[in-house]
Chains A and B, each alone.
Chain A
Protein backbone atom coordinates (compact mmCIF):
# COMPACT_ATOMS: atom_id res chain seq x y z
CA UNK A 1 0.00 0.00 0.00
CA UNK A 2 1.61 3.24 -1.21
CA UNK A 3 -0.51 5.47 1.01
CA UNK A 4 -2.01 7.25 -2.00
CA UNK A 5 -5.75 6.77 -2.35
CA UNK A 6 -7.92 7.29 -5.39
CA UNK A 7 -11.66 7.21 -5.87
CA UNK A 8 -13.60 5.88 -7.55
CA UNK A 9 -11.93 2.64 -8.59
CA UNK A 10 -14.11 2.29 -11.66
CA UNK A 11 -16.18 4.82 -13.57
CA UNK A 12 -18.44 4.15 -16.54
CA UNK A 13 -20.03 7.05 -18.32
CA UNK A 14 -21.24 8.23 -21.72
CA UNK A 15 -19.69 10.45 -24.34
CA UNK A 16 -20.16 14.13 -23.69
CA UNK A 17 -20.38 13.72 -19.96
CA UNK A 18 -18.15 15.17 -17.23
CA UNK A 19 -16.48 13.25 -14.41
CA UNK A 20 -14.31 14.05 -11.42
CA UNK A 21 -11.53 11.80 -10.17
CA UNK A 22 -10.22 12.25 -6.65
CA UNK A 23 -6.82 11.64 -5.12
CA UNK A 24 -5.46 11.88 -1.59
CA UNK A 25 -1.66 11.95 -1.40
CA UNK A 26 0.53 10.23 1.17
CA UNK A 27 0.55 11.96 4.51
CA UNK A 28 2.93 14.90 4.35
CA UNK A 29 3.44 14.87 0.59
CA UNK A 30 2.93 18.27 -1.01
CA UNK A 31 3.19 17.27 -4.68
CA UNK A 32 0.48 15.50 -6.64
CA UNK A 33 0.84 14.26 -10.20
CA UNK A 34 -1.79 12.95 -12.62
CA UNK A 35 -1.05 10.41 -15.34
CA UNK A 36 -3.09 8.75 -18.06
CA UNK A 37 -2.41 5.20 -19.19
CA UNK A 38 -4.29 3.89 -22.20
CA UNK A 39 -4.48 0.21 -23.06
CA UNK A 40 -1.00 -1.19 -23.60
CA UNK A 41 0.47 2.30 -23.45
CA UNK A 42 3.00 3.86 -21.17
CA UNK A 43 2.29 6.49 -18.57
CA UNK A 44 1.50 9.90 -20.00
CA UNK A 45 2.09 12.78 -17.60
CA UNK A 46 -0.83 15.19 -17.42
CA UNK A 47 -0.22 17.74 -14.68
CA UNK A 48 1.55 18.40 -11.38
CA UNK A 49 0.45 20.42 -8.38
CA UNK A 50 2.62 21.48 -5.49
CA UNK A 51 1.02 22.75 -2.30
CA UNK A 52 -2.03 24.00 -4.14
CA UNK A 53 -0.25 25.58 -7.09
CA UNK A 54 0.09 24.21 -10.60
CA UNK A 55 3.75 23.32 -11.08
CA UNK A 56 4.03 21.59 -14.45
CA UNK A 57 1.85 20.62 -17.37
CA UNK A 58 2.26 17.71 -19.70
CA UNK A 59 0.03 16.39 -22.44
CA UNK A 60 -3.21 17.51 -20.83
CA UNK A 61 -6.16 18.29 -23.08
CA UNK A 62 -8.02 21.57 -22.70
CA UNK A 63 -11.12 19.54 -21.78
CA UNK A 64 -9.26 18.33 -18.70
CA UNK A 65 -8.49 20.38 -15.62
CA UNK A 66 -7.22 19.75 -12.13
CA UNK A 67 -6.85 21.43 -8.81
CA UNK A 68 -5.28 20.79 -5.43
CA UNK A 69 -7.15 21.85 -2.33
CA UNK A 70 -5.80 23.25 0.98
CA UNK A 71 -5.97 19.79 2.56
CA UNK A 72 -3.71 18.69 -0.36
CA UNK A 73 -6.15 16.31 -1.96
CA UNK A 74 -6.51 16.77 -5.69
CA UNK A 75 -9.25 16.38 -8.26
CA UNK A 76 -8.97 15.78 -11.99
CA UNK A 77 -11.96 16.97 -13.98
CA UNK A 78 -12.61 15.47 -17.40
CA UNK A 79 -15.33 17.06 -19.52
CA UNK A 80 -16.95 16.53 -22.92
CA UNK A 81 -15.74 12.97 -22.70
CA UNK A 82 -14.86 11.06 -25.84
CA UNK A 83 -14.40 7.34 -26.43
CA UNK A 84 -10.65 7.88 -26.60
CA UNK A 85 -10.58 9.16 -23.04
CA UNK A 86 -11.17 5.64 -21.79
CA UNK A 87 -8.05 4.79 -19.82
CA UNK A 88 -6.55 4.25 -16.41
CA UNK A 89 -5.89 7.49 -14.58
CA UNK A 90 -3.25 7.45 -11.89
CA UNK A 91 -2.40 9.90 -9.20
CA UNK A 92 1.05 9.94 -7.63
CA UNK A 93 2.53 11.94 -4.80
CA UNK A 94 6.00 12.84 -3.67
CA UNK A 95 7.55 14.47 -0.69
CA UNK A 96 10.77 16.20 0.13
CA UNK A 97 13.17 13.35 -0.30
CA UNK A 98 16.94 13.36 -0.41
CA UNK A 99 18.47 15.95 -2.71
CA UNK A 100 18.52 14.67 -6.26
CA UNK A 101 16.28 11.71 -5.48
CA UNK A 102 12.95 12.01 -7.23
CA UNK A 103 10.50 9.31 -6.25
CA UNK A 104 6.79 9.22 -6.86
CA UNK A 105 4.33 6.89 -5.17
CA UNK A 106 1.29 5.84 -7.13
CA UNK A 107 -2.29 5.25 -6.17
CA UNK A 108 -4.33 2.26 -7.37
CA UNK A 109 -5.84 4.22 -10.24
CA UNK A 110 -9.30 4.95 -11.58
CA UNK A 111 -10.42 2.99 -14.62
CA UNK A 112 -12.59 5.24 -16.79
CA UNK A 113 -14.76 3.70 -19.47
CA UNK A 114 -16.56 6.02 -21.87
CA UNK A 115 -19.37 4.37 -23.81
Chain B
Protein backbone atom coordinates (compact mmCIF):
# COMPACT_ATOMS: atom_id res chain seq x y z
CA UNK B 1 0.00 0.00 0.00
CA UNK B 2 1.35 3.37 -1.00
CA UNK B 3 1.22 6.08 1.64
CA UNK B 4 1.89 9.80 1.46
CA UNK B 5 2.64 11.72 4.62
CA UNK B 6 2.26 15.46 4.71
CA UNK B 7 3.79 17.78 7.24
CA UNK B 8 2.96 19.88 9.02
CA UNK B 9 -0.72 19.05 9.46
CA UNK B 10 -1.53 22.58 10.58
CA UNK B 11 0.24 25.86 9.98
CA UNK B 12 -0.79 29.30 11.17
CA UNK B 13 1.39 32.20 10.05
CA UNK B 14 1.29 35.96 9.58
CA UNK B 15 0.89 37.60 6.23
CA UNK B 16 4.27 38.09 4.56
CA UNK B 17 5.95 35.03 6.06
CA UNK B 18 7.39 32.17 4.03
CA UNK B 19 6.47 28.53 4.53
CA UNK B 20 7.22 25.06 3.23
CA UNK B 21 4.94 22.04 3.20
CA UNK B 22 6.38 18.56 2.76
CA UNK B 23 5.00 15.42 1.20
CA UNK B 24 6.92 12.18 1.79
CA UNK B 25 6.56 8.56 0.81
CA UNK B 26 8.57 5.36 0.73
CA UNK B 27 7.05 4.63 -2.68
CA UNK B 28 7.98 5.95 -6.10
CA UNK B 29 5.27 7.80 -7.96
CA UNK B 30 5.00 8.47 -11.67
CA UNK B 31 3.73 11.97 -11.03
CA UNK B 32 2.91 14.18 -8.08
CA UNK B 33 0.05 16.62 -7.91
CA UNK B 34 -0.65 19.46 -5.50
CA UNK B 35 -4.21 20.58 -4.88
CA UNK B 36 -5.70 23.39 -2.83
CA UNK B 37 -9.11 23.02 -1.27
CA UNK B 38 -11.23 25.74 0.30
CA UNK B 39 -13.95 24.90 2.86
CA UNK B 40 -16.95 23.22 1.30
CA UNK B 41 -15.43 23.15 -2.17
CA UNK B 42 -13.65 20.60 -4.31
CA UNK B 43 -9.85 20.36 -4.53
CA UNK B 44 -8.38 22.49 -7.29
CA UNK B 45 -5.32 21.22 -9.13
CA UNK B 46 -2.39 23.60 -8.73
CA UNK B 47 0.45 21.76 -10.43
CA UNK B 48 1.70 18.40 -11.64
CA UNK B 49 5.36 17.43 -11.48
CA UNK B 50 6.62 14.42 -13.35
CA UNK B 51 10.41 14.37 -13.56
CA UNK B 52 12.69 13.70 -10.58
CA UNK B 53 14.24 16.98 -9.46
CA UNK B 54 11.68 19.02 -11.35
CA UNK B 55 10.88 22.49 -10.03
CA UNK B 56 7.80 24.43 -11.07
CA UNK B 57 6.84 27.94 -10.08
CA UNK B 58 3.35 29.37 -9.95
CA UNK B 59 3.63 33.04 -8.91
CA UNK B 60 4.65 32.88 -5.23
CA UNK B 61 4.39 29.08 -5.06
CA UNK B 62 7.35 26.83 -5.82
CA UNK B 63 6.87 23.10 -6.19
CA UNK B 64 9.67 20.55 -6.22
CA UNK B 65 9.67 16.83 -6.96
CA UNK B 66 12.40 14.83 -5.24
CA UNK B 67 15.14 13.27 -7.32
CA UNK B 68 13.89 9.78 -6.48
CA UNK B 69 10.24 10.77 -7.11
CA UNK B 70 9.26 9.78 -3.58
CA UNK B 71 8.82 13.20 -2.06
CA UNK B 72 7.78 16.72 -2.88
CA UNK B 73 7.66 20.16 -1.32
CA UNK B 74 5.56 23.26 -1.73
CA UNK B 75 7.13 26.58 -0.77
CA UNK B 76 5.08 29.76 -0.51
CA UNK B 77 6.85 33.10 -0.45
CA UNK B 78 5.30 36.10 1.25
CA UNK B 79 2.08 34.30 2.14
CA UNK B 80 -1.18 36.19 1.81
CA UNK B 81 -4.58 35.62 3.45
CA UNK B 82 -5.85 34.38 0.10
CA UNK B 83 -3.44 31.43 0.39
CA UNK B 84 -5.47 30.08 3.31
CA UNK B 85 -6.81 26.61 2.65
CA UNK B 86 -6.13 22.90 2.74
CA UNK B 87 -3.17 21.82 0.62
CA UNK B 88 -3.17 18.22 -0.58
CA UNK B 89 -0.44 16.32 -2.33
CA UNK B 90 -1.32 13.27 -4.40
CA UNK B 91 0.93 10.67 -5.96
CA UNK B 92 -0.05 9.23 -9.30
CA UNK B 93 0.43 5.61 -10.26
CA UNK B 94 -0.60 3.15 -12.94
CA UNK B 95 -4.29 3.00 -13.69
CA UNK B 96 -4.53 6.74 -13.18
CA UNK B 97 -4.94 6.23 -9.47
CA UNK B 98 -4.04 8.92 -6.98
CA UNK B 99 -2.85 8.38 -3.43
CA UNK B 100 -3.63 11.45 -1.34
CA UNK B 101 -1.71 12.77 1.61
CA UNK B 102 -3.60 13.78 4.74
CA UNK B 103 -3.33 17.48 3.89
CA UNK B 104 -1.84 20.60 5.42
CA UNK B 105 -4.29 23.14 6.73
CA UNK B 106 -2.80 26.61 6.25
CA UNK B 107 -4.10 29.79 7.82
CA UNK B 108 -2.54 33.10 6.90
CA UNK B 109 -3.48 35.92 9.25
CA UNK B 110 -3.59 39.51 8.00
Contacts and interface: CB of A to CB of B under 8 A. Distances in A.
Interface of A: 2, 4, 31, 33, 42-43, 45, 48, 55-56, 88, 90, 92, 94, 98, 100-109, 111
A42 B88 contact: yes
B78 interface: no
B102 A2 contact: no
Interface of B: 30-31, 33, 35, 40-45, 48, 50, 88, 90, 92-93, 95-98, 100-103
Given A42-B88, A101-B50, A56 B45 contact: no
A37 B15 CA distance: 29
B102 A42 contact: yes
20 contacts: A2-B44, A4-B42, A42-B88, A43-B88, A43-B100, A48-B97, A56-B97, A90-B42, A94-B96, A100-B30, A101-B30, A101-B48, A102-B97, A104-B98, A105-B45, A106-B43, A106-B45, A107-B42, A109-B41, A111-B40
B42 A103 contact: no
B36 to A, nearest CB: 11
B57 to A, nearest CB: 18
Contact of B42 (A31, A45, A102, A108): A108
Contacts of A105: 45
B100 A102 contact: no
B88 A106 contact: no
B50 A42 contact: no
Given A101-B30, A106-B43, A42 B100 contact: yes
A55 B94 CA distance: 12
B3 to A, nearest CB: 11
Nearest to B4: A42
Contacts of A45: 97-98, 100
Given A103-B92, A106-B45, 9 more contacts: A2-B44, A4-B42, A90-B42, A100-B31, A101-B48, A102-B92, A102-B93, A102-B98, A104-B98
